[in-house]
A and B are shown apart, each in its own frame.
Chain A
Amino acid sequence: MSNARVDFLVVDDSPQDVELVVAALEARLPGVITVSAANGAEALETLEALPPDKVPRVILVDIKMPKVDGFGMLRRVKSSSKTSSIPVVILTSSAMDRGVRLAYALGANSYVVKSTNFEEFTETVGRMGEYWLNVDLGPPPKVGGTAVD
């Protein structure tokens, strides 16, 4: 790991999903630095280890994970001053998921549905990453739905 600031922290217990997400981000934003973690506990350790000015610019996190899940991680990230300003994007399998609503309540900034269709997946994840990397404020883009209602 170089000294450069990480752009994306991708947290998902499925290595395939991690690879797909990273691929999607890199396809859209060539040269971005991404790190990944297999679960919330690992991701939190990683964040812990980083100095405050080197924390990732955007965190993408799956909900269902062993050890610390997406909600646990969100709670921790948003309650620490070091990480609370990092945009967190929830990765979910379905927009109808009840978990999305809870995630928003816990401070998630947006969510993206992991489509089973490759092209759709690449497009939505890539665009979401690009948006949050470049925009610190303002509403999330209208991709994958804005709110659950």
Chain B
Amino acid sequence: MAGLGVGVFSLSSVAFTGYLVGAQSAYGWGQLTRMAVHTSLGFIVLSSGILTLSVCRSRTWISATLTSDVHDPVRERRRILGASISIMSVVSISVGLTMIWELYSTAVDEQRNHLVEMVKSRTEMIEAVARFDAENSDDVPGGARAATLSQVRDAHQRSPGFGRTGEFSLATRVGDEIDFLGPSRSPPGTLVETLGVGFVRAEPMRRALAGETGSLIGTDYLGNKIIAAYAFVPSLSLGVIARMDLAEVRAPFVRSALLTAVLAILIIGLGTGVSFVSIGPLVKRVEAQAEGLRTANVELTREAAAREESVKALAESEALLQGVYETYPDLQFVLEPDGTIERFSAPDETVLYVPPQEFMGQRMQDILPPDVGSLWSDALGRATEGLGTQSFEYSLSTTQDGDRSYEARVSMMPNGGFVAVSRDITDHKQAEEALRVSEDRFRIALKAPGLGVTHQDRDLRYTWVHNPHPDLEPGEVIGKTDLELTTEEDGAVLMALKRGVLESGIGRHEEIRYSINGVRHYYDITVEPLRDPAGHVVGVTTVAVDIDDRKVLEELLVFVAQRNWGEDGDVFLRSLASFLGTTLDVSHAFIDRLLPGGTKVHTVGLYSLGELVPDIAYDLEHTPCENVMAGEFCSFPSDVQQRFPQDQWLAEMGVESYAGMPLWDSSGNPIGLVGVMGTKPLGNPELVEKALRIVAVRAAHELEQQRSMEALRRSETIVANSSDMLALLDRNYTYLAVNPAYVRPFGLKAGEMIGNTVAEVFGEEFFTTVMQPHLDRCLEDVNVEYKTWIDYPVSGKSYMHVNLSPQLREDGEVAGFIVNVRDITELEEAQQSLSEMNLGLERLVKERTSQLVEANSELEAFTSSVSHDLKVPLRAIDGFAGMLVERHASALPEEAQRLLGVVRTSTKQMANLIDDLLDFSRLGRADKVITEVNMQELAQAVFSEIATLEEDREIEFSLDKLPTIQGDLGLLRQVWSNLLENALKFTGQTTVARIEVSCQHGSDHWVFCVRDNGAGFDMAYADKLFGVFQRLHDENDFPGTGVGLATVQRIIQRHGGEVWAEGEVDRGAKIFFRIPHTVEPT
């Protein structure tokens, strides 16, 4: 039903929207649109109705089904069905009628329009007739108007009308009356020819005659309801009406409305009948079944409630039992007559040590170890015999908790079974054992030495004592008070303390000193009240412990810790020695400092026989102190003299015992020792060792401090006497310390400068412009050096070298600066004059060099020029001599020809000389071209070239491995050429010429050597070897110009090297030349 409603509703909505859009766009808001809207709305209303009904129905149905208190569901359902059918019927009929009404309205409107058209055409026709008559009826009596009216009336009377009741009606106005023209379709007898204008019914004609045009629904003169259209023909003063009975228009609609209603009622009635007939019995059957079910359900519910009640009661009693069972702390068993476990409860399942399922159904005797099992069976047996509840103890070994002890009770139940309870009594037993052990321990503790325990009554008389004092027997103490056992003063203190405990009932703990038998000891005493079982204080119990040793060490510690950290080290060390002596009750105590060299010590504190004595120094050798310095703690509790017979001092002082401890500085190096000596054997060596260990740390620290103070004093002396100006600044450039040299130029004392800032001392401007940048840089942990002129108030302007070093804290931050200033005015002046001199010198060198260069180039130009010019006459001499010989040979005697030959030979020599000279001069001018030169290949090539000229000679040439060097290939070729030519030349007179070329590798150069076995030379003339035109040999023996070696020297010098020679007459010569690894271009 709801589905149907939703379907219809959706369809209607869609249709509505579609109609709305379609109709509006096609027709505008015309009649059809209104129809469509109405239709759609009708369906929407219908579907809404269905929906509402369906919702109501389902709700009612649900409540009707679920609630059992509805009296008559069938009637109810019928009522709902009836109501819904009624609503549906009303809605359907309403929709149908509305539709019919709408159609009817449309028909009426259309009919009105139709009538208007008809009237209009009739009017036009009449006017046309009138116009015609007006032109053609001049001779007609009455005129044109009468003619026309006659024609019109005639036509009108013949007009058959239209539809069933439709007709035209014409009338003219005659005075106050309406004059109808001719008959109409009106029934005979009803025709009224004239009517008064005031006649109410003839509304259309009255309007027409008033000249109006239009349509209306009104009543005609007969009182019929009509639709009429009216118009007026002015030329004839004629009103024209087309009219129709409204009944004629209405008739079909009324018919269809009636038909619709009847049909609807019929269909609804039929449908209702069918539904009542067909649905009624079905519903009834279902209802009957539902009713049956409901009744059964109610009974079931009642029954279930009753059962629940009884179960609950049972559960409560069970829970009660279980509660008792579970909260009971012991293991409980219910056993069958044969001992089988029926049920059991364990407060904590872990105490079973066996999984519970293994318990159930087993006999108690079987699951326990045999010995325990027999205990159980005995007990069960006794219980069975009517001996009442049996109880017994047993113990079990468990893997989890070790041995456990149990106490079990067994009672017989009326059914022959048993109830057994087993309690774990292990803890109880252990507590008992612990108590026993603790009592034993207490007894042992009481036997400890130095521990005394006493009881005193309310009068503070001793009633029980345990180990009161080594010197006192218990019998001496019982019945006495403290006043009788110690001095009056100490006794009073003790009594007051104990009386306080008696009165307040609150225990006290004190460290207290009192004398027993005239010897005073430190005791740690605890006094507690003694109470009777009623809680009344009946006395005190006192536990006293002798704490003499501890006290001594404590006092030493306090001395060492508290005394004089700021005090002068010397004073402290002396007082420490004294304190050590008195506290340990020894005859001598000393603190020694190890002197440099490590074989002697010097006392810095010496206590002897109750007083401090002046310090002494002694050799460590053969003394117990030597043993101490060699190792760690050393003690000779007695007979020390016998151990160190060579130690005179021990004998002199009558020393019997000795103990010493070395002192180390913080780096672990020995720096001294501390020790004690006694004229009696040492009573308590352990105490002495502890005491020395305590003292050693502080004494070592003091010695080290002293040493560093001395070092500091030394460096202070150095600083104070330094001629350098030294100062220490903090981060804010404030002077922390200055040496005298620093303040001297200011004319200030150190104290007057310390605390001031650098800016205050030097002036703000000098500080910010000169010093601050350097100081800031130094702040970044950089050493800074700079030089500056400083104008000092007293010493005046000086040039100063300033060195700033950052002073670092332990965390690496710059804490301040160490300033080191040195006056370098004189140094600077000296340097300045030196640099001035250097400048002058440089200038001079430059001048000289340029002069030299000039002179050199002049010389070269001169040489070149001279050589050229010299060649002209030479050519002439040789040329003309040659021509003479050539052209006039026949005319010349032989002698003349020979002489001409001599002339020509001399000319040749001179020409060679000039060529060599030219080559030599050219060397100074040509630019060097530095390349890599393989000397090995070069020397070999040059030799091969030269040797071809000397093919007839026997030559042994050896060439070492030569390096590749930097140099000018052309020039170096010249060098090899000249040197090897020389070697060949000077070996010319030996039978076998030997020429060796070798090279030695220096750190930055090479040394080449050309050695021959030729004529050699006298070393006395070695310096002349390399001069131009310097010849050491006869021209006849060794021809040459004397320029070759000069050329070599010049080339080698141009390579930055040098040439030298070694030789001996007739023993050959060695020519060396050195060339650096790196050759600078010119």
Contact = CB atoms under 8 A, between A and B. Distances in A.
A10 to B, nearest CB: 14
Nearest to A62: B872
Contact of A117 (B867, B873, B911, B919): B911
A96 B878 contact: no
A96 B917 CA distance: 13
Contacts of A23: 883
A23 B884 CA distance: 12
Contacts of A121: 875, 879
Interface-central residue, B875, B907, B908, B915, by most chain A CB under 10 Å: B875
Contacts of B749: none
B868 A116 contact: no
Interface residues of B, number: 23
B868 A117 contact: no
B908 A117 contact: yes
Contact of B879 (A64, A93, A96, A118): A118
Contacts of B878: 116-118
A115 B879 CA distance: 9
A94 B873 CA distance: 15
Contacts of B871: 93-94, 114, 116
B872 A17 contact: yes
Given A94-B868, A96-B918, A119 B882 contact: yes
Nearest to B911: A116
Interface-central residue, B867, B868, B915, by most chain A CB under 10 Å: B868
B922 interface: yes
B918 A116 contact: no
B1028 interface: no
B120 interface: no
Contacts of A93: 867-868, 871-872
A64 B864 CA distance: 12
Interface in A12-65: 14, 16-17, 20, 23, 64
A59 B918 CA distance: 28
Interface size class of A (residues with CB under 8 A): 10 to 19
Interface-central residue, B873, B878, B880, B907, by most chain A CB under 10 Å: B878
Contacts of B881: 118
Contacts of B911: 116-117
Interface in B896-916: 904, 907-908, 911, 915
A16 B879 CA distance: 9
Contact of B876 (A17, A64, A119, A122): A17
Interface in B854-880: 867-868, 871-876, 878-880
B876 A16 contact: yes
A94 B869 CA distance: 12
B872 A14 contact: yes
A20 B879 contact: yes
Contacts of A114: 871, 875
Contacts of B876: 14, 16-17, 20
Interface-central residue, A20, A64, A122, by most chain B CB under 10 Å: A20
Contacts of B915: 94
Contacts of A64: 868
B882 A116 contact: no
Given A64-B868, A116-B908, A118-B882, A17 B918 contact: no
Interface string A91-123: 001101000000000000000001111110110
A115 B908 CA distance: 10
Interface string B908-946: 100100010011001000000000000000000000000
A124 B871 CA distance: 17
A118 B883 contact: yes
Interface in B743-797: none
Nearest to B873: A16
A123 to B, nearest CB: 11
B917 to A, nearest CB: 11
B872 to A, nearest CB: 5
Nearest to A20: B879
Nearest to B886: A118
A93 to B, nearest CB: 5
Nearest to B865: A64
Contacts of A118: 878-879, 881-883, 886, 904
Contacts of B918: 94, 96
Contacts of B922: 96
Nearest to A12: B872
Interface in A117-149: 117-119, 121-122
A115 B904 CA distance: 13
A41 B40 CA distance: 138
B882 A16 contact: no
A96 B881 CA distance: 27
Contacts of B874: 116
A116 B873 CA distance: 9
A117 B904 CA distance: 8
Contacts of A16: 872-873, 875-876, 879-880
A94 B919 CA distance: 10
A93 B866 CA distance: 12
A20 B875 contact: yes
A100 to B, nearest CB: 13
Given A16-B875, A94-B918, A116 B907 contact: yes
Contacts of B882: 118-119, 122
Contacts of B907: 116
Contacts of A20: 875-876, 879-880
Given A96-B918, A118-B881, A118-B882, A17 B875 contact: yes
A74 B346 CA distance: 145
A116 B875 contact: yes
A93 B922 CA distance: 15
B779 to A, nearest CB: 68
Contacts of A17: 872, 875-876
24 contacts: A16-B872, A16-B876, A16-B880, A20-B876, A20-B879, A20-B880, A93-B867, A93-B871, A93-B872, A94-B868, A94-B871, A94-B915, A94-B918, A96-B918, A114-B875, A116-B874, A117-B911, A118-B878, A118-B879, A118-B881, A118-B882, A118-B886, A118-B904, A121-B875
Given A116-B908, A122-B882, 8 more contacts: A23-B883, A93-B871, A94-B918, A96-B918, A96-B922, A114-B871, A118-B883, A119-B882
Top-10 shortest CB links A-B: A118-B882, A16-B876, A116-B911, A20-B879, A116-B874, A93-B871, A118-B879, A118-B878, A93-B868, A116-B875
